Amino acid sequence: MSFGNESSEIKVEQVERRSADFPGEWLFTWRVQNNTAEPMRLLSIRVPHEKFRATEKTFERPLEISVGTSVTFDMTVFCDQPQESIVENAFLILLIDWRQAHWRLFVRLQIRVNKQAMPDTVIASITLQRVGFSGIS
C-alpha cells in the first residue's frame, strides 16, 4: 500500500482562526477532505506541541466523511508565542477509521505568528500510518 498517494488524497486545511476566551487561546477551524475511494470516520484529534497545544478531543459521534466530501471541526489551541515568531514541527494528529482499520493522519505544521501575535498554520506535510503497524497501539 502506498501511503504517500493515499495521504495526498486526504486534504487538511486551516479554514479560520479567531481569539478564544483567554489570552493565548485561539479557536481554529480545520477542514478534512476525503478524496479517497472509501468513506472514513474521524474519531479524535490532538495537538501535542509545547508551543502550540490542545487537549485531545474525542468525538462522541465520529465525524463521517463520505467519499468526495469534507467535514470541518473546531479546536481551541493554546499558543502565546511572541509576534513574528515561527514554531516548527507542530502536529495536528487525527485518528481515523478507514479501510477497516484505525489510522493516524499526521499533519505537520509550521506556526507563523504575525505582528498582532496571532498564529496561523502552514501545512508542511501530511503522512498516514496504520495504528499498531510498529507493534505499538
pLDDT at 135: 61
Residues ≥6 apart with Cβ < 8 Å to 69: 33, 34
Q: Please write the tens of the pLDDT for every residue from 10-69.
A: 999 999 999 998 999 999 999 999 999 999 999 999 999 999 999 999 999 999 999 999
Residue 65's closest CA among 102, 37, 104?
37
Domain spans of the chain? 3-130
Cβ-based neighbour number of residue 29 at 10 Å: 14
pLDDT value for 2:
32
Confidence of residue 134 (pLDDT cuts 50, 70, 90): low
Tell me: domain 3-130, CATH 3.30.9.10, correct? no
pLDDT beyond 60 at 87: yes
3-state class of 3 per DSSP? Answer: helix
Average pLDDT, the chain: 92
Are 102 and 131 spatial neighbours (Cβ–Cβ below 8 Å)?
Answer: yes
